[in-house]
Amino acid sequence: MTATAPASERTVRVLIVGSGFAGIGAAIMLRARGIGDLVILERAASLGGTWRDNRYPSCACDVESVLYSFSFAPNPDWSRTFAGSAEIHRYLERVATEQEVLPHLRFDETVQEAHWDEEAQRWIVQSTSGPWHAEHLIVATGALSDAVRPDIPGLDTFGGPCFHTAQWDASVPLDGKRVAIIGTGASAIQVIPAIQPRVGQLLVAQRTPAWVLPRHDRAIPAWRRALYRRVPRLQGLARLLQYLRHEVLFLPFRHRWLRRVAARLLGRHLIRQVRDPALRTRLTPRYDIGCKRLLLSDDYYPAMTQPNVTLVDQTITQITPTGFVTADGTTHPVDVLILATGFRPTDPPLAPFIRGRDGRSLADGWRGSPTAYMGTTVTGFPNLALLNGPNTGLGHSSVLMMFEAQFDHLNGLFDLLALSGAQTAEPTPEAQARYTSWIDEGHRSTVWQRGGCQSWYLDRTGRNSTLWPYGVGRFRRMIGQVDPEAYRLAGLAEHRD
Ligand code: N01
C-alpha cells in the first residue's frame, strides 16, 4: 500500500504506532493469533526505535543480551554479554523479517492525531499521509524516543557542532578537538570512554554524580555460541538465571538496609578505580543507591582520570558562541558540544493528540501524571493499548519482559472480546483508580520515592509514573490474566478470531 492509497484501503483492524521492540513484538503476537489485518506506522525510514536512533560510540544495552531479547526468539549469536546498539538493531530486523512483519510496516508516516469515533466505533488516526481507520490502536512509541535539550541560556548561540547523543553526528570530526559533554547519565558514561582517547580535551559537565557499578562486559566465546545453537535449552537456562539474578537485585530498591549493604559493597568500584581523593569525592553520589538509574561501566571512571579529561561540576550558567561559562565565572572554550541530557518519559509526546470517547486527550486526563490500568489500557479510551505505558518501566531488569507481559494481557483482551461478542473494551474508572492507588502505595517505600534525588522517573507532580514498583514476576502474574470485571465491554463485533 502506498501513502496515497484510497481511504477504503486505509481501514485496518489493528493500527500500531512505532516499530521498536514493543511495536514489532505486538505485531508478532497479533499475527500469531491470526490477526493479519494490521499496519505499523513508523515516522522514520526504517524500523528499530531507540536502537535505530542511538548510534553514539559504544552505545550498548545495559541489560545482558540473553535477557534483552524476546523469549520467543532467542539469539545464540550474541557477540558480547552486553551487545552494542548495531547488533541489537540487526537482531530486531532479523526477528521482524523472519516473523513476516515487514509487509505490515509503513515508513515515513508520522502520526499527528488520533480520536475515537463513538458512532463508527473506530479510531480515526491522522498521519502525515492522511487518515487511517482502525478498530484497535496500539501506541508503541517508546519512553526514550524524544531527545531533551537542556534549558541552558544561550544554547542556540553555540557556533560549533552541537548534537544530542540520540542524534549522533558521525560526520563531525572529534580527533584532537576540545569537546564538552553535558550530562553524566547512562548515555554519557558510554560515550566518554569511547571518545576520550581521540579528543584533545574532554570537558565533562556533571550536575549530579551517579552511582556507577561494574559491568563485567565480555566477548562471548565461539564455543559457547556453538553450544547455545546446538542446545538452545542451555541458553534458556542462562536466561532464567539472569532473570532470577535481576529479581534478587531488585530487593534493595525496596529495602533500605539492603541498600546500605549494596552501597558499601558497590561503592568500592569508585574507590578501586579513582585513586585521587579529591576527584573521587567529586564523583561520589550524594543520594541513596538506585534512586536514579544505576549505571554500569568498567571504563568510565578510568577515563575520568586521564590527563585530557576535566570534570566540570560547577553549574553551566551560559552557553556562548565559543563555549560555556560556569557559576564560578570560568569561561570554558569548546569546539564541539555533545548533549547527553536524556529524554522525558513522563510526557509522552502523543498524549495531547490522542482523544478518547468524550473528546478529551490522554494529556488532559493525566494532567502531568500518566496512569493506565495495568500500565496498558485507559478508561474512556476504548480499544487503546499503551505499550511501555505508565508504570511499566524497570530500574533493574529487561523491559522486554514487561512488553511480553503486556502482549499477554492484550491477547487476553482479544479473547475476552471474541468470547463475549463485544466490539470494544476499556477499563472501568474504578478498576483504573484502584490499580493506580495500589501502584502509588507500592512506590511509597521504594528508593525512587525516598532516596533523596531528582530523577526522570518522577513526573512534574512528583509522582513516580514511569516505574513498576515490584519484581517483574509479579507484573507477569498480575497482568497475564485479564479480569473481566475490570473491563467495560460494548458493541457487537464484526470480526471473530
Ligand atoms: O539520560 P539521563 P541518558 N545541565 O536522563 C544531565 C536509557 N539508556 O540518555 O542527573 C547539566 O540518564 C543530567 O543531570 P542530573 C536508560 O534507561 C539505556 O544518559 O539530572 N546537566 C544527567 O546526568 C537511561 O536511564 C541504555 O542532575 C544536565 C544527564 O544529563 C536513559 O536511556 C543506554 C542538564 C541525563 O541523563 C536515559 O539515559 C543509554 C543541565 N541543564 C541510555 N540537563 C541501555 O543500555 C540534564 N543534565 C538500555
C-beta 340 within 6 A of ligand 1: yes
Task: Grade residue 495 by pLDDT with cuts at 50, 70 and 90.
Answer: low
C-beta 184 within 6 A of ligand 1: yes
C-beta 312 within 6 A of ligand 1: no
pLDDT at position 494 is: 55
Distance CA 92, CA 37 (A): 21
Average pLDDT over residues 32-40: 97
C-beta 74 within 6 A of ligand 1: no
Task: Answer whether residue 1 shows pLDDT above 80.
Answer: no
Element (H, E) at 269: helix 268-273
Average pLDDT over residues 120-139: 97
pLDDT at position 395 is: 86
Q: Which atom of ligand 1 is nearest to the CA of 165?
A: 9
Q: Which atom of ligand 1 is nearest to the CA of 207?
A: 27
Distance CA 87, CA 82 (A): 10
Of 7-11, 25-29, 101-105, least confident by mean pLDDT is 7-11
pLDDT at position 4 is: 46
User: Are the beta carbons of 116 and 381 closer than 8 angstroms?
Assistant: yes
Element (H, E) at 173: none
**Residue whose grid cell is 553450544:** 227
C-beta 29 within 6 A of ligand 1: no
Task: Grade residue 450 by pLDDT with cuts at 50, 70 and 90.
Answer: confident
Q: How far is the CA of 4 from the centre of ligand 1 (A)?
A: 40
Q: CA torsion sign, 239 to 244 to 248 to 251?
A: positive
Beta strand segments in 304-460, E: 309-312, 316-320, 323-326, 331-333, 336-339, 354-355, 384-386, 424-427
User: Are the beta carbons of 123 and 114 closer than 8 angstroms?
Assistant: yes
Q: Which candidate, 40, 297, 103, 46, places its Cα nearest to that of 185?
A: 297
Question: Does 155-210+253-339 match 7-144+346-490 at the fold level?
Answer: yes
User: Are the beta carbons of 75 and 91 closer than 8 angstroms?
Assistant: yes
C-beta 186 within 6 A of ligand 1: yes
Q: Which atom of ligand 1 is nearest to the CA of 316?
A: 4
User: How do strand 309-312 and strand 295-296 relate by DSSP bridges?
Assistant: unpaired
Task: Answer whether residue 9 shows pLDDT above 80.
Answer: no
pLDDT at position 346 is: 85
Distance CA 456, CA 119 (A): 39
Average pLDDT over residues 157-170: 97
**Residue whose grid cell is 531528582:** 454
Tell me the percentage of the chain whose pLDDT exceeds 70.
Answer: 97
The region that residue 77 occupies, defined by phi over 0 for left and psi between -120 and 50 for alpha, beta otherwise, is: alpha
The mean pLDDT of the chain is 95
Question: In terms of CATH, what superfamily is 155-210+253-339?
Answer: FAD/NAD(P)-binding domain (3.50.50.60)
User: Are the beta carbons of 40 and 18 closer than 8 angstroms?
Assistant: yes
User: Which residue among 82, 184, 392 is best mutated to probe the pocket of ligand 1, counting the most ligand atoms within 8 A of its Cβ?
Assistant: 184
Rounded to the nearest 5 percent, the helix, strand and coil shares of the chain are 35, 20, 45
Angle of CA points 147, 149, 154, to nearest 5°: 160
User: Which residue among 91, 187, 211 is best mutated to probe the pocket of ligand 1, counting the most ligand atoms within 8 A of its Cβ?
Assistant: 187
Half-sphere exposure of 305 (CA within 13 A, CB side): 15
Q: Which candidate, 186, 151, 140, places its Cα nearest to that of 165?
A: 186
Distance CA 147, CA 137 (A): 24
Task: Answer whether residue 7 shows pLDDT above 90.
Answer: no
Q: How far is the CA of 486 from the centre of ligand 1 (A)?
A: 37
Domain borders along the chain are 7-144+346-490, 155-210+253-339
Q: How far is the CA of 256 from the centre of ligand 1 (A)?
A: 24
Average pLDDT over residues 362-370: 96
Q: CB-based contacts of 461: which residues, under 8 Å, 6+ apart?
A: 367, 368, 369
User: Are the beta carbons of 472 and 402 closer than 8 angstroms?
Assistant: yes
N-term to C-term CA, the chain: 24
Element (H, E) at 260: helix 256-266
Query: C-alpha distances in angstroms, 196 versus 124, 191, 213, 309, 451?
Result: 49, 8, 20, 7, 32
Q: Which atom of ligand 1 is nearest to the CA of 68?
A: 48
Q: Which atom of ligand 1 is nearest to the CA of 62?
A: 45
Distance CA 440, CA 468 (A): 10
Q: Which atom of ligand 1 is nearest to the CA of 150?
A: 41
User: Are the beta carbons of 145 and 23 closer than 8 angstroms?
Assistant: no
User: Are the beta carbons of 489 and 420 closer than 8 angstroms?
Assistant: yes
Q: What is the pLDDT of residues 383-441, one digit of tens each?
A: 999 999 999 999 899 999 999 999 999 999 999 999 999 999 999 999 999 999 999 99
Task: Answer whether residue 2 shows pLDDT above 50.
Answer: no
In this structure, the chain runs to a length of 497
Q: How far is the CA of 165 from the centre of ligand 1 (A)?
A: 10
* pTM of the complete model: 0.94
Of 12-26, 71-85, 442-456, least confident by mean pLDDT is 442-456
Q: How far is the CA of 185 from the centre of ligand 1 (A)?
A: 4
The count of other CB atoms within 10 Å of the CB of residue 463 is 21
Architecture field, domain 7-144+346-490? 3-Layer(bba) Sandwich (3.50)
Task: Answer whether residue 248 shows pLDDT above 80.
Answer: yes
